[in-house]
Amino acid sequence: MTMEMITPQKVHDVARFAEHLDLHHRIDGWFSVESAAAWDAMLCKQNALRAQGHMLEIGVWKGKSATLMAIHSDPTQEVVVLVDKYLDQPAIESALHNVYANLGDSFQLLKMDSRRLVLDPILVDGFEAFRWIHIDGEHSGRAVINDLSVANTLLSDQGVVCIDDYFNWLYPQVTEAVNRYVREHPDQFALFLCGYNKAYLARPHHAHTWLQYCKEELMGDLEGRGVEATLAKSTLPTEMNTFGMGPRFEGQRMRGPDWAQQTIRI
């Protein structure tokens, strides 16, 4: 982390994430430390931007990623909604109790197919009221399109949608569905970052805030959390204004196009 990026708040955030890693490793699931570090960094950035709103996860498993959402939620005014067709409530509640002794009304656990969310009052009551949405449910293209449609209704101006298994060779239909939805709804979503098995979408009018964050802060924030990555912007913004990130590549912290590797344009 560069010296100009270190603030007392960032020191606190990094220490809290280090404490969370013990819990992270004890819960079953496929949520990598690298993705957890990226989530933690971006959720901290939302706090710095004073972005408030509820959180939603479709596909919860044992609550591994849900605990990180819970750490960043404000139980006095934000609700974490967890949706899973095969909801393992005892396991999820056990995981969440490591964060909050009393879950109360700040957490809603819904055992249902996410396609039924279109019939749930959440779609009306939560209109544009969610700042963080994680889609990790059924991996068919049809289900991903449905879940993105739900996210489109619920996401706030400053919110982020994260989709699991983007670029995962086991599920090419997930990548195709995400790309198709973004292409067909250019006024609703912009893909600003992908990497470590995840894609990240923002509202187009707010995407530049996240692109600037990726360029100026993300690598330092990841390094502070013990992750050495490379952030790549391998083409011009006019072709695709999206960052990629992955394991440290050829010792480079950031990498531009092949013809100008030191140049990062957003």
Domains of the chain: 3-230 (3.40.50.150)
251 has pLDDT over 90: yes
Q: Give alpha helix (H) positions in 79-184.
A: 89-96, 122-125, 141-154, 172-184
For range 100-111, the mean pLDDT: 92
d(CA 210, CA 238): 17
Q: Report residue 35's pLDDT band, with 50, 70 and 90 as the boundaries.
A: very high
Q: What is the pLDDT of residue 113?
A: 96
DSSP class of residue 252? B
Residues in contact with 102: Cβ distance below 8 Å, sequence separation at least 6, in sequence order: none
Q: Residues of 191-229 as b/e, b for ≥16 C-beta within 10 angstroms?
A: bbbbbbbbbbbbbbebbebbbebbbebbbbbbbbbebeb
pLDDT of residue 112: 96
CA dist 178 and 210 (Å) reads 19
115 is written with which tokens?
């396609």
Model-level pTM? 0.96
So what's the pLDDT on residue 102?
Answer: 87
- The arrangement of strands across the sheet holding 190-195 comes to 107-111, 80-84, 54-58, 130-135, 155-164, 198-202, 190-195, 243-247, 229-232, 254-255
pLDDT at 246: 98
Kindly report, residue by residue over 48-82, the tens digit of the pLDDT: 999 999 999 999 999 999 999 999 999 999 999 99
Look at residue 3 in the predicted model and tell me its pLDDT.
41
Q: What share of the chain is helix, strand, coil (3-state, %, to 5)?
A: 45, 20, 35
Give me 195's structure tokens: 């990497």
Q: What is the mean pLDDT of the chain?
A: 95
Give pLDDT tens digits for 142-200.
Answer: 999 999 999 999 999 999 999 999 999 999 999 999 999 999 999 999 999 999 999 99
β-strands 107-111, 190-195: how paired? unpaired
Query: What pLDDT was estimated at residue 5?
Result: 57
How high is the pLDDT of residue 181?
98
Biggest alpha carbon distance in the chain? 55
Cα 165 to Cα 118, 162, 210, 219: the distances in Å are: 23, 10, 21, 22
What is the C-alpha to C-alpha distance for residues 29 and 13, in angstroms, rounded to an integer?
23
Tell whether the model's pLDDT for residue 2 goes beyond 70: no
Name which of 29, 101, 40, 108 is nearest 62 in CA terms: 29
Q: What is the pLDDT of residues 235-245, one digit of tens each?
A: 999 999 999 99
| Beta-bridge partner residues of 83 | 58, 110
The stretch 19-45 carries a mean pLDDT of 97
Per-residue burial over 98-132, b if 16 or more Cβ lie within 10 Å, else e, is: bbbeebeebbebbeebbbebeebebeeebeebbbb
